Structure formats: structure tokens, C-alpha cells
């Protein structure tokens, strides 16, 4: 299913460049052969699915949460290395959860990673305490970023791709946004660096999700223009979100993992009432989705797509008079049961809340595929 996003994105690039998807696929296949990709803190480890589609080899994954470790091992039984803490990747040897043995952390050509967003999120009431978290390595964001950079400095992957919340680009208590500290760290480590806010709804998926995507290309192999070229290519790959109902129909998304409470409670009904007032000009055809887990003051609402999915979201589909299922919210990150076999057999039925948590913290598959595909096409040009 992830191939759908890749195919649509390659079609857009082919039109722009006056070539064919087959030619672009061939370039990617040639350059991907033998390249090792590692992931850390990616939530569902969706880059592993993309690696299979694009012909990359998996070096290792890294995930701290034990429940998410279980998700990774059950959905990717072929995985050879799974480490538990990004902050330990700098060590000479680390426990491999797959084998139970201490092993050397290998070098990867492409390192795709997240780092904790809590300290820089605009929803964090203590955010101003962490205005220098990247520079000082403080707070969960700073500590996990330091772990990321320890790996980068030790192993010098050719490409570093990272993702975090939009708040990382916003000023904090009058201080410059900490993304500038990220840029400084990457430049000191020997990388040309760039970042951009990308919205999941600009990449086919009907979810309004703004995230900061960062790309570092090793200075001895690439130029700053190459970083800019990658982002230009990502722009070419943009395509409007599919309408919510059509999206679910197109990908045959079911309703596994429905919440126990099938009707909103009194507080949630008040949130819905406030949300409806925010979209007075909606038509009868417009699908209204409200995150009723949030307060009446916030009442996030979108038409024909969902508000941003976070770990504690409770999306109510007003037209259908029901909550979205765990299967549906996973699909709104591009995470489908055809790509994640254990999701349907185990997690959607037995660990519904974990699926919501995974959704809130996962990379959007369609955005990640655009970034990774654009990077591979740039490598092919080098």
C-alpha cells in the first residue's frame, strides 16, 4: 500500500522532469542497492516498509517503548537488530533485543530518526524552561537529540533525515527557535542542512498535520544546493488530500478497534457544539471531524479531513455520528494492515489504545516516502 504514495510522487516528478516513472524507478533501484538504512524513534517504524519498496537494506531500528518494540518485532519478523535507547547508540556495544546479545551498533548510509517533541511542543505549558534544550541537551527533547547527534558524529551517515513538531521552529519566550540550534549542531558535525514544515494533507492523506522535516547531507559528498534541490523535489510531489470517505474506501480501511464508548459524553458533546460553530459555511456534503479529547476552548475541527492526530486524540465523525476506529486512525498516517500484518491480527483487536498512541507519534507514511524518495533521486544524480 505504501507503494501507492511512492508511485503518485514519482508520477509528479516524472511530469516535472519530462521523463517516465519507470526511468525514475530504475535510478532509485540502482542507487539503493547495497545502501543501509537505520531508523530511531519513528513510532511505527514506517520507514522499514518504505525501505522494502525502494530496495534499501535495513541496518537497525531503535525504540525505547517496550510496547512499540513489540509492534516492530511482530510486524517486521525479519528484523535483525533492534536497540532500545537512542541515547546508547554511541556506546561500543548495545543490547540487541532480537538476539539478546550485546552487539556493536553498525554504521548506516541513511539515518531516519525522530527525537522527543515534548520539550519544544507549543502545547507544553513548561516550554519556556526548555528554550535552550537542544544546545544544552536538557529535557526529553534535548536528551534524545543529543543521542541522535552522538550517533551521527560517530558514524557519519551520508544522509540524516529527522522529524519533529512544528513548535521546534517557533520562538520560545522571546528566544530564537531551537531549530537554529539543530542547524548549528548538524553543521558542526559536517553536514549541509535544511528544514521545512510539511503538512500531511498536502501528500494525499486527509489529516491536517504540520511537522518539521529536516535533512542533512554530508558536506564532503553534497552541497547546500543539493539540500535545496531535495526540498524542491518534495514540493513537486505534493498532491491534495483525498476526501476522507473516499480515502477509506480506496484503501479498503475497516473499523477494527472501535472504542468501547460509541457515543460522545456530555463534555464531548459541548466540544462538538463549539466546533460546529467554527465551520458555519460547510455544505451538506462536507464531512466534519472533531477531536473531542481536547477542550471546548480549542475544539479542533476540520472538513473532509481530520485535525492533527496525537496520542490522546478521540476523533468524532459528526456526519456518521461515530468515533473513528483504531484501524482508521492508523490509516490516516498511511499505516495499513496490508503493510503491517500483525496490526490486524493482534494490535487492532487487543491493543487498541496502543494503536492510537502509535498513530500520534508516527511518521506520516506519505510524507516520509516523499522525503526518502527525493533523497534517493538526489543520490542518483551525484
35/57 Cα distance (integer angstroms)? 6
Nearest to 374 by CA among 13, 4, 1: 13
Say if residues 164 and 115 touch (Cβ distance below 8 Å).
Answer: yes
Helical (H) or strand (E) element with 112: strand 110-114
Which DSSP string corresponds to 329-361?
A: HHHTTT--TTTSHHIIIIIHHH-HHHHHHHHHH
Nearest to 336 by CA among 315, 359, 303: 359
Say if residues 161 and 197 touch (Cβ distance below 8 Å).
Answer: no
Annotation says 117 is catalytic: yes
Which of these is catalytic: 53, 117, 212, 355?
117
54/372 Cα distance (integer angstroms)? 9
375/378 Cα distance (integer angstroms)? 5
Nearest to 307 by CA among 262, 271, 283, 259: 271
- φ and ψ of 211, to 5 deg: -135, 150
Alpha helices in 55-208 (DSSP H): 66-75, 133-136, 139-155, 179-188
> 61 — alpha (psi -120 to 50), left (phi > 0) or beta?
beta
Give the number of other CB atoms < 10 A from CB of residue 225: 10
CA 127 to chain centre: 22
Contacts of 378 (CB under 8 A, 6+ apart): 217, 222, 226, 229, 230, 233
Q: In angstroms, what CA-CA distances link 256 with 189, 253, 353?
A: 45, 9, 12
Nearest to 63 by CA among 115, 107, 110, 99: 115
364/329 Cα distance (integer angstroms)? 11
Which residues are known to be catalytic? Answer: 117
Amino acid at each position: 500500500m505504501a507503494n501507492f504514495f511512492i508511485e503518485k510522487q514519482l508520477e509528479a516528478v516524472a511530469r516535472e522532469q519530462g521523463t517516465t516513472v519507470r526511468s525514475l524507478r530504475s535510478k532509485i533501484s540502482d542507487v539503493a542497492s547495497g545502501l543501509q538504512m537505520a531508523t530511531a524513534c519513528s513510532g511505527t517504524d514506517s520507514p522499514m516498509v518504505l525501505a522494502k519498496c525502494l530496495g534499501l537494506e535495513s541496518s537497525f531500528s531503535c525504540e525505547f517503548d517496550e510496547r512499540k518494540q513489540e509492534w516492530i518485532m511482530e510486524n517486521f519478523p525479519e528484523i535483525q537488530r533492534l536497540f532500545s535507547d537512542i541515547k546508547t547508540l554511541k556506546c561500543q556495544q548495545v543490547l540487541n533485543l532480537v538476539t539478546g546479545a550485546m552487539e556493536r551498533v553498525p554504521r548506516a548510509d541513511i539515518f531516519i530518526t525522530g527525537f522527543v517533541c515534548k520539550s519544544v511542543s507549543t502545547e507544553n505549558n513548561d516550554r519556556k524552561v526548555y528554550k535552550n534544550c537542544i544546545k544544552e541537551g536538557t529535557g526529553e527533547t534535548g536528551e534524545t537529540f543529543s543521542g541522535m547527534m552522538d550517533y551521527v558524529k560517530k558514524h557519519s551517515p551520508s544522509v540524516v533525515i529527522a522529524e519533529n513538531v512544528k513548535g521546534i521552529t517557533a520562538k520560545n519566550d522571546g528566544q530564537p527557535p531551537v531549530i537554529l540550534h539543530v542547524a548549528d549542531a548538524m553543521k558542526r558535525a559536517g553536514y549541509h542542512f535544511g528544514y521545512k514544515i510539511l503538512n500531511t494533507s498536502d501528500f494525499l492523506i486527509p489529516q491536517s498535520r504540520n511537522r518539521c522535516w529536516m535533512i542533512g547531507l554530508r558536506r564532503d559528498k553534497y552541497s547546500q544546493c543539493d539540500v535545496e534541490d531535495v526540498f524542491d523535489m518534495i514540493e513537486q510531489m505534493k498532491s491534495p488530500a483525498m476526501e476522507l470517505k473516499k480515502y477509506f474506501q480506496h484503501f479498503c480501511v475497516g473499523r477494527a478497534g472501535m472504542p468501547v464508548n460509541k457515543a460522545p459524553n456530555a463534555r464531548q458533546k459541548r466540544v462538538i457544539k463549539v466546533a460546529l460553530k467554527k465551520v458555519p459555511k460547510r455544505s451538506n456534503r462536507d464531512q466534519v471531524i472533531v477531536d473531542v479529547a481536547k477542550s471546548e476552548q480549542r475544539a479542533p475541527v476540520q472538513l473532509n479531513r481530520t485535525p492533527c492526530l496525537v496520542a490522546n486524540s478521540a476523533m468524532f465523525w459528526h456526519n456518521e455520528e461515530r468515533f473513528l476506529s483504531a484501524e482508521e486512525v492508523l490509516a490516516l498516517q498511511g499505516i495499513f494492515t496490508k503493510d503491517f500484518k500483525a496490526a490486524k491480527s493482534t494490535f487492532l483487536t487487543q491493543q487498541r489504545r496502543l494503536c492510537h498512541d502509535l498513530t500520534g507519534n508516527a511518521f506520516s507514511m506519505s510524507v516520509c516516502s516523499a522525503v526518502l524518495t527525493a533523497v534517493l533521486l538526489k543520490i542518483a544524480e551525484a
